[in-house]
Every structure is written in structure tokens, then in C-alpha cells.
Amino acid sequence: MIKIGIIGYGYWGPNLVRNFNGNKNFSIVKVADTRSERLNLLQKAYPLIEITTNPNDIIKDPSIDAVAIATPVFTHFQLAKTALENGKHVLLEKPMTSTSQEAEELIRIASGKKLSLMVDHTFLYTGAVQKIKQLIDSDTIGKVKYLDSTRINLGLFQPDINVLWDLAPHDISILTHLVGEKPYSLNATGVSHTSNDVENIAYLTVNFESGFIAHFNCSWTSPVKIRLMLIGGDNKMIVYNDLEPTEKIKIYDTGYDIKTDEEKQNLLVDYRTGDIFIPKTAPTEALALMAEDFAQSILNGKDTVSNFNSGLSVIKILEASNESIKNRGKEIIIK
């Protein structure tokens, strides 16, 4: 049984508590939040879990094996670093850290101490993303040409991170999970409609040397909620609507063949629109699978689906997007 402490019981922390509580390999020993009113809520639901307003009561408790951190991003690095230095396995909420330098330092400490360091990119554990990965890996949709994602709603304005740092980690982690190729460069634009200069609308394009292209539209100021991803292959195309309760994925037998005429002057485009197929996707809650993945990495050294490498790739893209936004969409090479 892995003894775990959870830090942060705001909006997302309760989901972690519920899922770690439901996993046979974990026993939640303590939950910390600097706001005691949040802990009072926790105690009503889970009277046996200890509470504390001081995260060090978890991080420095020698009886605790692992720590899950669901606090604001700017606190992730220091909490995770101290936890790793105290010999704890660490699960960090997305986005991993505020800078790639911080992420790299955490990876170095975890690797040196042979501790699990995982980032919760929840979407990688959904039935829908698992199915899309199968469709791409089995060559069902052919060579993937583009990924286009819209993640917009009337969202909570975050004081410390812009809309890309808030919403795009989901899409970028899906991108890096599905596509093996490393991104080459990006262009991003964004705008802040508040006095704090934190962008509430942003558009990000990620470029690849092969000609594959990915685009993300993120906003906290949309009147409607849209969670829609299009993935185009040269054989078939996928529409992934995460708001659909059951039919989240549709595979379109849609495509085109291009020929040039004899003088190579005109493009001859032969369009194909065929059947639409709706595959079954696993209904298991993603966070339950994520918690089990974390357990297996601690107990058996298993590589996790969402790991620190994907955490770092996401941060590198977000960092470069900040630079591009500051320079009005300038192309930034991703290091």
C-alpha cells in the first residue's frame, strides 16, 4: 500500500482525492491546503483523512511515500523539489512547472534518486485519446497531415498564467502523445482584455519539418463551450468532440487525390467523401487510470503514459509561445 499525501484541495484536488481513495494501491494519509475552509469540506466527505494547512506536514512526513500536487502552477516547482529531496514520489498537475529550467531540475533530482515523477496530462488516459492513438498507430487514417483543436468557453480568468498555459497543456500533451515527430517551430498570437496583460484569447500554430501542422485556438471569452479536435490523415479524417457524451469520435472516410495535368500547370483534385464510422471508446474515468499508472510506476518501475518527458515538451512549447506572443507572432524555433 502506497501512503500518499495530496497538496491542494481547490477545484481539481477533490478529483485526485476521489480517485486515489478509490485505488486499491493507495492510502491517502493527509491532505493539505492553505485555506482551512477547503479542508473542512474534505473532512465532511472523508473523516478518516488527516488535514493540515502546512504542505510541509506532508512533504517532510517520513511515513508518506508519495505526494500529489494540485496547487497553482507557480507553486509546483518548490513543492515538488522539496518533496523529491525528502524521498517522495511526485505526481504534479499540468502544467508541470513555470519554466523548462525548473522542469529539468525536477527531472534531474527524480532520476538521481530513482523516484517516480509524473505529470497528470489527464486526457492521455481517456478512451477517446487511446482510440485515436490506435487509429494512428495502426495506419487506419494514413499519414497524418494536420491536427486542429478548439478549446474555448467562458472560462475562469487565471491571475498568474495565460489562456494557453491554462488550456493548451491538454491539447499539446495529446499532440506529443499522438505524433512521434518533434516540433520544429511555432507562431503564437494572443490578446489580453484586462489590465494585467494576461492573454485571455490565444492562437498557437506548431510547425513540423515533415509538413505536418498543428493549430490550437484557446479562449476564456467564448459564449459557447467547444472542445473539438480535427485530425486529418491522407486516408481518413477524425473528428473528436469531447463534449459528446458517448459518440466522441467520428472517423470520416474523406480524402482527396491530387494530380497535375501534363503541363504541370493546373492541380486536378479528386475528392472522396465516403462513410462515417463511430468507434466504441472505453468509458473508464481517465483519472482512475492515471492513478493506477502512478501506482505501477512506484511499485514496478513501469514507464507511465503521461511522464516527465511529455511534461517538459509541453512547457517548452508554452515558453516559446510566450516569446512569440510578445513578438507579435514571430516564428520561434523550439529547442
Ligand X SMILES: NC(=O)c1ccc[n+]([C@@H]2O[C@H](COP(=O)([O-])OP(=O)(O)OC[C@H]3O[C@@H](n4cnc5c(N)ncnc54)[C@H](O)[C@@H]3O)[C@@H](O)[C@H]2O)c1
Residues that bind ligand X (CB under 6 A): 7-13, 32-35, 38, 55, 70-73, 75, 93-94, 120, 122
Q: State whether residue 294 is helix, strand or coil.
A: helix
Cβ-closest position to ligand X: 10
Report, in Å, the least distance between residue 253 CB and ligand X. Answer: 32
Please, which residue, 237 or 289, has the CB nearer to ligand X?
289
CA-CA-CA-CA torsion sign (273, 277, 278, 282): negative
By C-alpha distance, which of 163, 122, 128, 155 is closest to 225? 155
Label the pairing between strands 221-233 and 201-207: unpaired
DSSP string of 118-184, one letter each residue:
EEE-GGGGSHHHHHHHHHHHTTSS-SEEEEEEEEEEEPPPPSSS-HHHHHHHHHHHHHHHH--SPP-
Report, in Å, the least distance between residue 282 CB and ligand X. Answer: 18
Please, which residue, 105 or 285, has the CB nearer to ligand X?
285
Report, in Å, the least distance between residue 76 CB and ligand X. Answer: 7
Please, which residue, 9 or 294, has the CB nearer to ligand X?
9
Report, in Å, the least distance between residue 166 CB and ligand X. Answer: 7
Exposure class string for 221-248: b at 16+ Cβ within 10 A, else e: ebeeeebbbbbbbeebbbbbebebeeeb
Report, in Å, the least distance between residue 267 CB and ligand X. Answer: 42
Residue type present at position 245: P
Q: Which strand (E) or helix (H) includes residue 41?
A: helix 36-45
Please, which residue, 55 or 233, has the CB nearer to ligand X?
55
Please, which residue, 26 or 125, has the CB nearer to ligand X?
125
